[in-house]
Amino acid sequence: MADDILLQFSILIPALIAGLLVLSTHVPLGIEVLQRGIVFLDLAIAQVAAFGLVLAYWIGLDSDTKSVYLLSQIIAITAAIIGASFLYQFRRFSAQIQEALIGIVFILAATGSVLVLSTDPHGAERIKNLLVGQILWAEQSTLIFTSIIYVPILIAWLKFKDRLGEYGFYPLFAITVTLSTQLVGVYLVFASLIVPALACRQSRSPLTAAYLTGVLGYILGLILSSLWDLPAGPMIAWSLVAASLTYYLLFHE
């Protein structure tokens, strides 16, 4: 019994650390996305980043060596930044037109991944992993690499948000979403960005409230997925919604 508990903790603790890393950047960026009224921007960029990873795999960058791993990250981040820069050009249009164009980019990136992996015997599994994520199998090296990138991004955003402006927002957002997509998957990236920020947007301290709500959602989701033997990513997404809805109903002003 004790061995089983220790095994569960050895899996859940790294997963929780991965979730906290994602929340650290996604909560403030999610608040910004809601303020800009471009809700599906993050979903599109996450899908473009996933497409970049698929391309990296397709050209043979599927090794665990550090050099190959870094090269695949560069390809994915480059794809996301190019996609974000392209989406940046949509700002001249109304919010409704922006959302429609962002949706088109999402569809192209999503179907592009399907086309590239259509002849791969493990293609369906790879697409599933990119969408749902593998948070329970977060490796220490990946967490360290993500932390090294996230810390300066978070500092830059919290301290120099006004100086960065719109043009600075998109590249930072692209890099952040690219890394988080590999940790938790496209769906949980979207949930982490939007759900806590939406529930707490009218709070006296929306950033703090969204952080706390997000942490509660991740903890609850990981515990329930372990107890009920359910996929962690989808369970966390549902728990984020439950925690955020509870906060909204109890503390909505």
Q: Of 189, 154, 156, which is closest to residue 45 (Cα–Cα)?
A: 189
Q: Is 21 helix (H, G, I), strand (E, B) or coil?
A: helix
Q: Tell me the CA end-to-end span of the chain in Å, nearest whole number.
A: 46
Domains and CATH numbers, the chain: 2-251 (1.10.3470.10)
- DSSP designation for 39: T
- DSSP designation for 73: H
CA of 231: how far to CAs of 142, 143, 177, 182, 235, in Å?
21, 20, 21, 16, 6
CA of 47: how far to CAs of 12, 147, 174, in Å?
26, 22, 11
Q: If you count them, how many residues does the chain have? A: 253
Cβ of 34: how many Cβ atoms within 10 Å?
16
Rounded CA separation 120/142 (Å): 25
User: Angle between the 206-228 and 186-199 helix axes, to the nearest 10 degrees?
Assistant: 130
* Per-residue pLDDT tens digits of the chain, which is 253 residues long: 444 555 566 778 889 999 999 999 999 998 888 887 777 777 788 788 888 888 877 776 565 666 677 777 787 788 778 877 877 777 777 777 877 888 888 899 889 888 988 887 777 888 888 888 888 888 888 899 889 999 998 888 888 777 777 777 888 888 888 888 888 988 899 899 999 999 888 888 888 999 999 999 999 999 999 888 898 989 999 999 999 999 988 877 6
Rounded CA separation 179/223 (Å): 24
pTM of the model: 0.86
Is residue 186 classed exposed, middle or buried when 0-12, 13-18 and 19+ CB atoms within 10 A define those classes? buried
